[in-house]
Amino acid sequence: MQTALTQETQLKLTKEFKNLEKSAVELTVTIAKKDVEEAYKSTLSNYTKNAQIPGFRKGHVPANVLEKKYGEAIKADTLGSLIDKSFDEIFQNETENRPLPYAQPAMEKAPEFDITKDLTYTVKYDVFPKVSVKDFSGIAVKETQCEITDADLAEEIKGLQERNAMVIEKKDGTVAKDDIVTINYKELDDEGKTIAGTEREDFVFTVGTGENIYKIDDEIIGMKKDETKEITKKYKKDDSDPELAGKTKKISVTVKAVKIRDLPKLDDDFAQDVDEKYKTLADMKADIKKNMELAVSRRIRELKNNYLLEQLVEKNKFDIPSSMLATELDGRWRMMAQQFQTTPDQLEKLILSSGQTKEDLMKDWAADSEKMLKSRIIVDSLIRDRNISVTPEDIEAKYAQIAADGNMTVEEVKKHYEDARAKEYLIDDAKENKLYDEIYKEIKVSKGDKKSFKELFENK
């Protein structure tokens, strides 16, 4: 247990820090009785100037009358001002033991206030975890291999055709795979009654993509426009959606519209319609393949970095503060609400209607979120310990690379990064890339498993 003691400041005080579990700190502060007495007199003087009591003129109420009437309030105000002032002075130059911005110091027990004695109080709060990564022995990274095939390129082009297709009504109105359907749906309880909050009207998706909450693609194949059907579906225990895993759902579905895509002909005219920069179909294919190669390169590096960080997290044990994890989980919850185009409160009601609770989801997310936080902290620590920095020349090179990758001019890229936050993100990214380049020179990097283009991005 580490202890740091005392220095004189504007207040005559001593401070003692004690490290607790999960990157928490206990701070004990003692303020000299002379400062306590002077602070009390100052508070009492303010009361004297401003108090209005019948029978006395403002500013002329005797101190003993004020103490009799407002004694506890005067003590409480004095205590609050002393604690605030001592905090300001302690953390003005303190770097290692500063509270996290979302972890306000908490006082378990109110201190004894006596103007004839020193004032001592104790608070607990969370601090940024301390980790120093020195040992890279035994760490090795495998780099995934991926080659883009003609079939991969053809699939990408087909997707481009589909995005530029004309969507027309299907003549027979019968649902089949790859059709675009509009449905109304709602979840039913055991008695066949609607579960409040689960109704959805005019929901559009492509059959076969699984891009619907209940994954009912196969169940609606063969249905016709304006047909209503009750579907009972049992989900596997290992279903990727924790809200469905191991459960049986009864859903009422009405097909409102069935449409198909009329794909455009694959020729030079199509390429020019996609983007005026293309003159021929060959131009478009070459550009698409270039973008696929860039995507593969980035994804392989991402997987490589993740594999490295997993090993560093495992090798360097440290705790995440409770408040840091809680803030991360809250942010994830709010992001989920945005994805569902609803409010956090409405999302909670929706989750409850599915038989789960917000707390259940938080528990499911906790391990993954903690792992992600530890990875971030390790990267920040390594950048700091290795004094990784970037020069203006590095940033210029980054601008040039982004411009080349995105078929833009350097001036266009610079304009985008005029925003201070965007520029800061670019600098941080450049530092991280420098860090990884350094580490990969120090550890063993070998060829990993081969993956197809589709497999590479499956769990993205």
Do residue 189 and residue 316 come from a single domain? no
Q: Is the pLDDT of residue 65 over 90?
A: no
In contact, 313 and 304? CB cutoff 8 Å: no
pTM of the complete model: 0.69
Q: What percent of the chain has pLDDT over 90?
A: 80
Residue 157 lies in a domain: no
Domain that includes residue 17, residue range: 13-126
Residue 56 lies in a domain: yes
49 and 89 fall within a common domain: yes
> Which of 209, 237, 262 is the last residue before a domain boundary?
262
Give yes or no: residues 298 and 394 share one domain. yes
Report the CATH number at residue 438: 1.10.3120.10
Task: Please give the structure tokens belonging to residue 288.
Answer: 């698409």
Residue 6, in any domain of the structure: no
pLDDT at residue 296 in the model: 97
292 phi, psi to nearest 5 deg: -65, -40
Task: For residues 98 and 239, state if they share a domain.
Answer: no
Do residues 61 and 181 share a domain? no
State yes or no: pLDDT of 6 exceeds 60: no
Higher pLDDT, 3 or 347: 347
Which contacts of 436-443 are long-range, i.e. CB under 8 A and separated by 24 or more positions?
436/301, 436/305, 436/308, 438/386, 438/388, 439/136, 439/308, 439/382, 440/141, 442/136, 443/136, 443/139, 443/140, 443/141, 443/308
- As a whole-number percent, the residues of the chain with pLDDT over 70 amount to 98
Q: Could you read off the pLDDT of 326-338 as tens digits, one per residue?
A: 999 999 999 999 9
Which pLDDT tens digit goes with each residue over 161-213? 989 999 999 999 999 999 999 999 999 999 999 999 999 999 999 999 999 99
Q: Would 45 be classed as within a structural domain? A: yes
pLDDT at 412: 93
Q: What is the CATH number of the domain that holds 250?
A: 3.10.50.40
Mean pLDDT of the chain: 92
Distance CA 219, CA 3 (A): 65
User: Does 5 map to a domain?
Assistant: no
* Tokens at 129, concatenated: 């975890």
Q: Tell me: the pLDDT tens digits for 90-147?
A: 998 888 899 998 888 999 888 999 999 999 999 999 999 988 888 888 899 999 999 9
Domain termination site, one of 235, 262, 289 = 262
Over residues 272-301, the pLDDT tens digits come to 999 999 999 999 999 999 999 999 999 999
Which position has the higher pLDDT, 240 or 287?
287
On whether both 306 and 416 belong to a single domain, the answer is yes
CATH number, domain with residue 109: 3.30.70.1050
Query: Does residue 295 lie in a domain region?
Result: yes
